[in-house]
């Protein structure tokens, strides 16, 4: 018979959870997780109920086959195609701008830039990449668009300056 393996030393016993914080913390964390799950379930439920009401009034064909999106007009239309086309167009323009710029920036930083330039530019680009795109969109809407409207004659003005009766 072979010799028995040496005994494993007893593991350090964890400190007994006797303090109030040690007993309450798991319960608070569980409640936080429960609130998150219930909020998500509530959002899904509201979306399902509202979607069911919409589809019962317009039907699936009105949503998928209609070519107009005019929910605020007297003759309401809820076709998804204008929204899908706008999304695809915006995506294509964003790709046409961002892909070459990003690729050329990456090539420049990895192959051409000096160590000093790389030491400055790389963290700067990483910080800019961390900013949500909504912030860039808001900046473009509030700063770039008015500047372009002053520079480019005949460009459309903001809808905020137009009277509401024009859109009714």
Average pLDDT over the chain reads 85
Q: How far apart are CA 78 and CA 64, in angstroms?
A: 9
φ and ψ of 73, to 5 deg: -80, 170
pLDDT digits (tens, 9 = 90+) for 58-110: 888 888 888 888 888 888 888 899 999 999 999 999 999 999 999 999 999 99
Using DSSP, state whether 78 is helix, strand or coil.
Answer: strand
Q: Are 113 and 121 in contact (CB under 8 A)?
A: yes
Q: Where are the domains of the chain?
A: 115-153
**Residue 159 reports pLDDT greater than 80:** no
- Alpha-carbon span 141 to 135, nearest angstrom: 10
Confidence of residue 37 (pLDDT cuts 50, 70, 90): very high
With CA atoms as reference, report the closest residue to 81 among 91, 71, 67: 67
* C-alpha angle 154-155-156 in degrees, rounded to nearest 5: 115
Residue 138's pLDDT is: 94
What phi, psi does 70 have (nearest 5°)?
Answer: -135, 70
Q: Is the distance from CB of 96 to CB of 80 less than 8 angstroms?
A: no
């Amino acid at each position: 018979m072979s010799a028995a393996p040496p005994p494993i030393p007893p593991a350090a016993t964890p400190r007994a959870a006797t303090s109030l914080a040690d007993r309450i913390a798991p319960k608070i964390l569980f409640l936080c997780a429960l609130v998150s799950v219930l909020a998500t379930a509530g959002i899904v439920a509201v979306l399902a109920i509202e979607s069911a009401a919409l589809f019962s009034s317009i039907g699936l064909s009105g949503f998928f086959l209609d070519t107009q999106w005019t929910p605020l007009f007297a003759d309401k239309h809820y076709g998804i195609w204008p929204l899908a086309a706008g999304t695809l167009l915006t995506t294509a323009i964003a790709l046409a701008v961002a892909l070459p710029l990003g690729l050329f920036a990456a090539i420049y930083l990895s192959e051409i830039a000096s160590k000093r330039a790389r030491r400055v530019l790389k963290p700067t680009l990483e910080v800019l990449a961390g900013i949500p795109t909504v912030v860039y969109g808001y900046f473009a809407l509030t700063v770039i668009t008015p500047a372009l409207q002053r520079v480019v004659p005949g460009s459309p003005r903001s809808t905020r300056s137009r009277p509401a009766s024009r859109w009714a």
